[in-house]
Amino acid sequence: MNTTRCLITQLEVQAFIEKCMVAVGTKPGHARSLAEVLVEGDRRGHYSHGLNRMDMYVKDVQSGICEKDGEPVIVKESAATALVNGQNLLGPVVGNFCMDLAIRKAREVGIGWVVANGSNHFGIAGFYSMQALKDNMIGMSFTNTSPLQMPTRAKECTLGTNPISVAAPANGGDSFVLDMATSAVALGKVELHHRRGEKIPEGWGCDSKGKLNTDPGKVLNGGGLVPIGGSEETGGYKGYGLAMMVEVFCGILAGAQYSKHVRTWKVTDRVANLGQCFVAINPANFAPDFNDRMSDLLTLHRDLEPAEAESPVLVAGDLERSSIERCATLGGISYHVNVVNHMNSVAEQFGVTPLLPNNVPVPE
Amino acid sequence: MNTTRCLITQLEVQAFIEKCMVAVGTKPGHARSLAEVLVEGDRRGHYSHGLNRMDMYVKDVQSGICEKDGEPVIVKESAATALVNGQNLLGPVVGNFCMDLAIRKAREVGIGWVVANGSNHFGIAGFYSMQALKDNMIGMSFTNTSPLQMPTRAKECTLGTNPISVAAPANGGDSFVLDMATSAVALGKVELHHRRGEKIPEGWGCDSKGKLNTDPGKVLNGGGLVPIGGSEETGGYKGYGLAMMVEVFCGILAGAQYSKHVRTWKVTDRVANLGQCFVAINPANFAPDFNDRMSDLLTLHRDLEPAEAESPVLVAGDLERSSIERCATLGGISYHVNVVNHMNSVAEQFGVTPLLPNNVPVPE
């Protein structure tokens, strides 16, 4: 049994985050939207984008660097496109608004392509792409982020981890859900190795001279993340190109901040003005029986004989599905006690009832 | 000076390919479309997708596995989308038809998303995405291909090199042009190392057991290409996810062949029925001054201090631009004499005048 982790029900975490956000003045509907995205991040096993980040959002609203009230505004619109001003509201408020709009357009004309400026961190990109699954559509979402990634041949970070998410529905609620940073790994993975005093694999990060380095300390201090593909020789320029593609869809198309003009990670000296892009595509506008082919594609891959018997072939989204099933089996989300204690200390300042880890022991 | 290479003018190659295709019965307009794409591949330095492949297209038309006459047909259409039946015509004929349609839609409603079934190999994906640049739009193109890529954890090829191309206009004719396979490298690069008896870098290919291998022979015989990112540890599952995303946009959305149902590479026992996807996005529908921001984004990256003084930081499309400039300086395209001799022997069967390499020596 694991004494460093504890179980908390989804409902309790959801209510806790909502209350903390409302306590600093966030409009209740906005607080709910944020809580939903963070809880979904945790359920899917992406702890770096869940409760763990609540204090950042609390601080952003408390300091006034992010707006606590208002609604996003449509600046320009066609049957299939829209430009939205996120009004510096919480990222999930902007994301939900834009994704709803994209889905409505896709219902009418087969596709909706909506970009937003004036946004903030929106949690896991997959939350928005997956909204389209409810309408049996393909969903996509992209966001730019603070510079953390070094272009191939460079020694300065000019691009964020700029994630790409694509979700596509199959039969019976099954789906393909790609949700990936365009850097080889997320910053959190490098930080984790650093805390544990472990080296990182070659191809995750560079030192301040732009050279691949397996010392996480060098990557975190003056270095940066490497694009997917690693070195130039192994195709890192492709990851660099994809990160820039995301920037084109986000900061450039939306007229938001972009590239190295985006504020430094964790430095909130000015509004973020992030650019984001949300797309819905309606398979009904294309060839019939889309879901059947999707199911065949997914099954065909899951049924492949694996190279190592103990590591089955997966499709994008399968690991997250297992994480959600585990939460259901355990009856809650398994958190590290340090995270819970830290968030409780944040909540205490506002008189919010602390999270009460239940007594079910969490298996290793 | 190089005696294994010779110079041929662009006009001569263009006319030569057209004549060979017409000689086997291809409709002249279709022959021209194919020749344009192949010559552009060569000018951009992607020789694996140029004259070098002419014999494959000649054979496809000659054998009747690919149609020599007719036009693509719009099967289903909205203001922003279309499903096209490529009628088993040459890939460039289908590609041009779909991209023109996507651009027309983007002019009206800001975006055009067109997918085609019943298509064939279309040459470099970038040819189509770049068409949108002429209308100051963002262009995208995707195609599925014969299975050559192994999913992460698998030991069978179920996905093609499934390329992604995205082109975006900047000021003064400058642009960002991403044109990349979702495998770490193209098959041609592995074949080249094999012919030279050289090892390939770790992370390009797998052997028949699904293990990374640096012997190109093992990759070519029962093995396969590895997705961008290489092994699972360095993020290869992201490249695998992107390859599947391309399959969703192409074979699945279009109702064409998909994944391992696509015919084996170089085996033309049945029609290809490839799926392809073409997109145009009109920046005029989003924030003003798109081109200015694009130019800043490109300049900002090109001006970065490089990690190695002799290797300047590039943006996607810069290498190809250099190749085009080199052709202009030399006054023609530099081909390996073996390629020219082989294509001349193909042309001889149809009484087509052979390519006459001019006498300008080609510098190394």
All domains of chain A in start order, with CATH: 1-69+332-364 (1.10.1530.10), 70-184+226-320 (3.30.1370.60)
Q: Rounded to whole angstroms, how far apart are CA atoms B274 and B163? A: 13
Q: Rounded to whole angstroms, how far apart are CA atoms B20 and B205? A: 35
pLDDT of residue A364: 53
Q: Rounded to whole angstroms, how far apart are CA atoms A102 and A141? A: 11
pLDDT of residue A115: 98
* Chain mean position to CA B217: 24
pLDDT of residue A316: 98
pLDDT tens-digit profile of B112-137? 999 999 999 999 999 999 999 999 99
The residue to which tokens 């792409």 are assigned? A129
Cβ separation A306–B245 shorter than 8 A: no
Q: What distances in angstroms separate CA A100 from CA A93, A162, A269, A278, one per listed residue?
A: 11, 22, 31, 9
pLDDT of residue B1: 54
pLDDT of residue A359: 61
Q: Rounded to whole angstroms, how far apart are CA atoms A132 and A102? A: 9
| A335 Cβ contact partners less than 8 Å away, ≥ 6 residues apart | A5, A6, A7, A8, A42, A47, A51, A357
Q: Is B117 on the interface with A (CB under 8 A)?
A: yes
Q: What is the mean pLDDT of each successive set of 10 residues along chain A, which is 364 residues long?
A: 82 97 98 98 94 95 96 98 98 98 98 98 97 98 97 97 98 98 91 89 94 95 95 95 98 98 90 98 98 98 97 98 96 92 94 81 63
Q: Is B254 on the interface with A (CB under 8 A)?
A: yes
**pLDDT tens series, chain B, 364 aa:** 567 889 999 999 999 999 999 999 999 999 999 999 999 999 999 998 999 999 999 999 999 999 999 999 999 999 999 999 999 999 999 999 999 999 999 999 999 999 999 999 999 999 999 999 999 999 999 999 999 999 999 999 999 999 999 999 999 999 999 999 999 998 888 988 998 899 999 889 999 999 999 999 999 999 999 999 999 999 999 999 999 999 999 999 999 999 999 999 888 889 999 999 999 999 999 999 999 999 999 999 999 999 999 999 999 999 999 999 999 999 999 998 889 999 999 999 999 999 987 666 676 5
Token pair in block for residue B178: 């991403």
**Range list of β-strands (E), A36-195:** 73-77, 81-85, 111-119, 138-143, 164-169, 175-180
pTM tops 0.95: yes
Supply the ipTM of this predicted assembly. Answer: 0.97
- Interface A:B, Cβ pairs < 8 A: 260
Q: A211 to chain B: which residues are within 8 Å by CB? A: 307
Cβ separation A153–B110 shorter than 8 A: no
Q: Is B178 on the interface with A (CB under 8 A)?
A: yes
Strand pairing of B73-77 and A205-206?
A: unpaired
The residue to which tokens 């794409």 are assigned? B37
Interface test with B, best of A166, A293, A302, A314 (most B CBs within 10 A): A293
Q: In this complex, which of A83, A235, A297 lies closest to B252 when CB atoms are compared? A: A297
